[in-house]
Amino acid sequence: MGYLEYSFLATAGNLADNSNSGPIQNGIGKQDWTNFNEADDYSYANNGSYTKNSRITAYRNGMLIWGTEPATVNTVQSLKISTENKSSTTTNSISTYLQLNNVGNVPVNYSDLKVRYYFTSDGTPSLNFYLDYAMLGNSNVKGQFIKINPPLANADTYLEITFPNLSKLYPLSGIGNIQYRIAKQDWSNFNQSNDYSYHNGSSPMSENNRVVVYLASQRVYGTEPGAGARVGTELTEPNLSVTVLGNPVRGTELAVEVRGAESQPLRFQLTDLQGKVVSERLLEVAGSVEQQRLVVSEGVNGLLLLQVSTPIQRQIVKVLLEK
C-alpha cells in the first residue's frame, strides 16, 4: 500500500497558464518482476488516450489542489500460510513447500515473524533441516527444531522458521516458495500420518491452518495442537495450578488465577469445543500468583476449554460461560 510521488526541481522553472508538463512516461516494476493486479489500484484508469483522472492528486506547497484522495480504511493485520506436501506418508525426509502471504493492509516486520510446523520426531536421532530453495534467498531464511515438553496431540517437536535479515513484508504480497526437508541423522523413516501440521493430498499448494504464525510473540494465524481437546481431557504437570474465579462464569469477562509459573512466559487460550479461539493472552513473565481477565465477545456462551501453558507445563480446564 502506497503511492508514487512525482516532483520537479527548482531548475524546471514555472508552469505557465494554460500549459502542461508534457508527457511523463514511466514504468513501475517489482524486483522479482512478478505481476501487478491493477484492477484494485485506486488511481488506475484503463484509457487509450489522455483523459482527466481525479484519482491522481496534485499538491502545491503541501495543499491539495486537484483530485480526490482515497478514503481511509480500518487497519487489517492478516497473514496466511499455504503448504504443499512433496513426500509420502512414510518417508525418511519430510519435504514441504511453504508460502506465507500478507493478506492484510499493513506491513509487518520480518524479524518479528516465526512460522511453526508441528510434527512427531518418531524416535531419538537428532534432526537436520535442509533448505533447498527460498525465493527470498537461502541466507535470509533460518530453521531450528524445538522439542515440546510435555508432548502435545500429534506433536512432540516443531520446526521454527524465521527471517532475521529482512525488513518488511508488505500488504498483498508474499515470501514466495520456501522448499525444505526434515531428516533424521540416521535417515530412518517418519510416519507423517500422525503429524499435526502434515497436509495430506495438498497438491497443488493450499491453505494450512495447522502451521502457526507468531508476530512479535502473538499468535496471528493457525491453531496450535491441543487447542481442540475433548471435554474431560486434562493434561497437567505438577506445580501448575489454574483456578477459574467463579465457574460458571456470567458476563463477558473470565477471571483466572495461576500459580506455579513464576518467571516463565505464560499463555492463556480459550476455545470452543470445535477448537476455535475466542480469547487469548500472552504474558512474557508471570508472577508467583498471576491473576488475569480474558474478555469474551457477546455471542460466545456455553462450554469452553481454557488452556494455560508455560514452555514446560500445560493445563486444560473446562469453563461454563452463561450470559
Assign residue 122 the CATH number of its domain.
2.60.40.710
Beta bridge partners of 178: 98, 134
Region of poorest pLDDT, from 94-103, 181-190, 263-272: 263-272
Judge whether 180 lies within some domain.
yes
pLDDT value at 232 more than 70: no
**Residue 291 confidence (pLDDT):** 92
Backbone phi and psi for residue 306, each to the nearest 5 degrees, phi listed first: -105, 115
What is the pairing mode between strands 277-283 and 266-271? antiparallel
**Mean pLDDT, residues 77-81:** 92
Judge whether 25 lies within some domain.
no
Judge whether 269 lies within some domain.
yes
Same domain, 87 and 211: yes
CA-CA-CA-CA torsion for 159, 161, 164, 166, nearest 10 degrees? 170
At 323, the pLDDT band (50, 70, 90 cuts) reads: low
Region of poorest pLDDT, from 30-34, 201-205, 254-258: 201-205
Same domain, 269 and 140: no
pLDDT value at 53 more than 90: yes
* CA atoms lying within 13 Å on the CB side of residue 10: 0
Quick: pLDDT tens for 160-205.
999 999 999 999 899 999 999 999 999 999 999 999 999 876 568 8
CATH number of the domain at 285, please. Answer: 2.60.40.1930
Signed CA dihedral, 218, 219, 224, 229: sign only: positive
Same domain, 128 and 214: yes
Please, are residues 83 and 205 in contact by the beta-carbon 8 Å criterion? yes
Same domain, 213 and 266: no
What is the domain extent for residue 168? 79-221
Q: What share of the chain is helix, strand, coil (3-state, %, to 5)?
A: 5, 40, 55
**Residue 307 confidence (pLDDT):** 87
Domain count, the chain: 2
**Residue 201 confidence (pLDDT):** 66
**Residue 1 confidence (pLDDT):** 66
**Mean pLDDT, residues 98-111:** 93
Judge whether 70 lies within some domain.
no
Same domain, 308 and 202: no
**Mean pLDDT, residues 123-133:** 96
**Mean pLDDT, residues 267-271:** 89
Judge whether 86 lies within some domain.
yes
Same domain, 286 and 197: no
**Residue 48 confidence (pLDDT):** 85
**Residue 176 confidence (pLDDT):** 93
**Residue 182 confidence (pLDDT):** 98
At 101, the pLDDT band (50, 70, 90 cuts) reads: very high
Same domain, 129 and 198: yes
pLDDT value at 240 more than 60: yes
Mean pLDDT of the chain: 88
Same domain, 124 and 209: yes
At 139, the pLDDT band (50, 70, 90 cuts) reads: very high
Please, are residues 304 and 231 in contact by the beta-carbon 8 Å criterion? no
**Residue 285 confidence (pLDDT):** 86
Of 158, 189, 221, at which residue does a domain stop? 221
Judge whether 258 lies within some domain.
yes
pLDDT value at 151 more than 80: yes
Q: How many residues does the chain have?
A: 323
Of 170, 189, 221, at which residue does a domain stop? 221
Judge whether 148 lies within some domain.
yes
Same domain, 181 and 87: yes
Same domain, 128 and 209: yes
Judge whether 273 lies within some domain.
yes
Same domain, 278 and 310: yes
Q: How far, in Å, CA of 160 to CA of 157, rounded?
A: 10
At 111, the pLDDT band (50, 70, 90 cuts) reads: very high
Same domain, 185 and 247: no
pTM: 0.63
**Residue 284 confidence (pLDDT):** 84
